[in-house]
Amino acid sequence: MDIRDDRSNFSDILAAALTAADEFLERLEERPAALRPPPTEAMNLPEDGLGGQQAIEVFRQRFEAGLSASSGPRYLGFVTGGSTPAALAGDWLAAAYDQNLSNDGDSIATTVERETIGLLRSLFGLDNSFEGVFVSGATQANVVALATARQWAADRLGVDVAADGLWRLPPIPVLGGTPHASILKAVSILGMGRGCVEHVPCLPDRQAVDPQALAERLAALDGAPAIVSASAGEVNTGDFDDLVELSELCRHHGAWLHVDGAFGLFAACDPEKAELLRGLNAADSIATDGHKWLNVPYDSGIVFTRHLEHQESVFKAVAAYLGAGPDLLHRTPENSRRFRALPAWMTLMAYGRSGYRELVSRCCRLARRLGDGIATSEHYELLAPVHLDIVCFALRKGDVERRDRVIYRLLDDGRVYLTPTVFDGRPGLRAAFVNWRTGEEDIPVILEALADAAV
């Protein structure tokens, strides 16, 4: 089919997509939280296309049954948000509008991105000195932040890494108690090497760095530049580094403070949890996710830094046809950029500060409820206290194989999806609550599924 011939079918194609989405979302809560995909045979590229409507039909017939309810209420693996109604609408419109967000000056879309960054700063209680920009997720946000930190650290040693590379530099240490796997991925991408990440001891029975141990390590560097990577929401347990202590240490020793707050930054929305983020405004850079607790569709992340000059040194794209102004393409790895801000703008406008306060406090309450249920269960016990929205637990008795059997049984059962972890050498499971659909009614379902999977 000639592509232009499909133009007259546009409304019908969008209506078919709306029907598909409506039917999917209508039954989302009955769909298996996760499933093992059935084997399928790959189709060949058609010589003559099917047209948009038929393509939707074929997709639905072949694949729809194999989609999980990962945006539903009981997919508690990893840290997985869903899409609020307004965010989903915003994402559809982002595709329909299909704006180019590289450069200012040819559309209002970059203005919307800047406005959205302002809304997020306000949601998180961040100072206006933080510049922010949308990227694809917290991993990419960590890459941008650490690349900027690397540029700063090398600058202090008299080297412009963006121009000359790392070749003449000693290793720049990245210090943290519980750096997320994406921090290691980031330093690998950045040519600093995974070996530059030093795990500093944590406080007893905590997943938060021991400030005393960090102080000693920083003192031993004797003024050499270092990057401290703090966790605001450790991924296994939701524990938080003490940002007041860490920021004071960084100031004293002249180190860069990066905060990975992929989901934990949303503690700022709940007055009962906001305390966990005290000291945040002294950070040099912050990474967070849109597709977790903000509940916008994949993929969406945000990076904040207070060092635009170093950031732009790394990411500027120089070419005669690209502007040299303050365009957003000079702040991120991407040159071409999606209108990612729109779903975030929509959901923030639609539900406001109080909507997110309710969501965050509800998720934390649900995590506590599940934690209480685990603590009194016959088969399971908690591995760590519930600090925020994550429940980390294990079978009271049993090895890795038994734990894996529980995971597979849950997968086949479909009521709830959980992902494994290892905590203090013990094979465990985690449940992370960030989805706007999850409610009190889900807790007994989860506990029952867990009890059934244990026997």
Ligand X SMILES: *Cc1c(COP(=O)(O)O)cnc(C)c1O
Q: Report the interface residues with ligand X, using CB under 6 A.
A: 79, 137-139, 180, 182, 233, 235, 260, 262-263, 289, 301
CA 163, CA 265: separation in Å to the nearest integer?
A: 33
- Closest approach of ligand X to the CB of residue 240, in Å: 11
Q: Pick the closer one to ligand X by CB: 77 or 371.
A: 77
- Closest approach of ligand X to the CB of residue 136, in Å: 7
Q: Pick the closer one to ligand X by CB: 139 or 313.
A: 139
* Cα separations in angstroms, 408 against 32, 166, 203, 405: 13, 45, 34, 5
- Closest approach of ligand X to the CB of residue 291, in Å: 6
- Closest approach of ligand X to the CB of residue 15, in Å: 32
Q: Please answer whether residues 177 and 231 qualify as being in contact, where contact means their C-beta atoms are separated by less than 8 angstroms.
A: yes
Q: Pick the closer one to ligand X by CB: 250 or 303.
A: 303
Token output for 43: 């189709």
Q: Pick the closer one to ligand X by CB: 180 or 307.
A: 180
Q: Pick the closer one to ligand X by CB: 116 or 207.
A: 207
Mention every residue, 6+ apart, whose C-beta is less than 8 A from residue 126: 120, 280, 281, 286, 304
- Closest approach of ligand X to the CB of residue 219, in Å: 27
CA 137 to chain centre: 5
Instruction: For Cα atoms 300, 388, 364, give the angle at the middle one, nearest 5 degrees.
Output: 90
Q: Pick the closer one to ligand X by CB: 263 or 266.
A: 263
Q: Pick the closer one to ligand X by CB: 126 or 287.
A: 287
Instruction: For Cα atoms 133, 135, 136, give the angle at the middle one, nearest 5 degrees.
Output: 160
- Closest approach of ligand X to the CB of residue 242, in Å: 16
Beta strand 380-382 with 390-395: parallel, antiparallel or unpaired? antiparallel
Which residues in 338-349 are b (16+ Cβ under 10 Å) and which e?
bbbbbbbbbbbe
Q: Pick the closer one to ligand X by CB: 81 or 373.
A: 81
* Cα separations in angstroms, 112 against 101, 125, 342, 345: 10, 20, 7, 8
Q: Pick the closer one to ligand X by CB: 180 or 217.
A: 180
Burial of 154 (0-12, 13-18, 19+ CB in 10 A): buried
CA 389, CA 131: separation in Å to the nearest integer?
A: 28
- Closest approach of ligand X to the CB of residue 138, in Å: 3
- Closest approach of ligand X to the CB of residue 179, in Å: 9
- Closest approach of ligand X to the CB of residue 139, in Å: 3
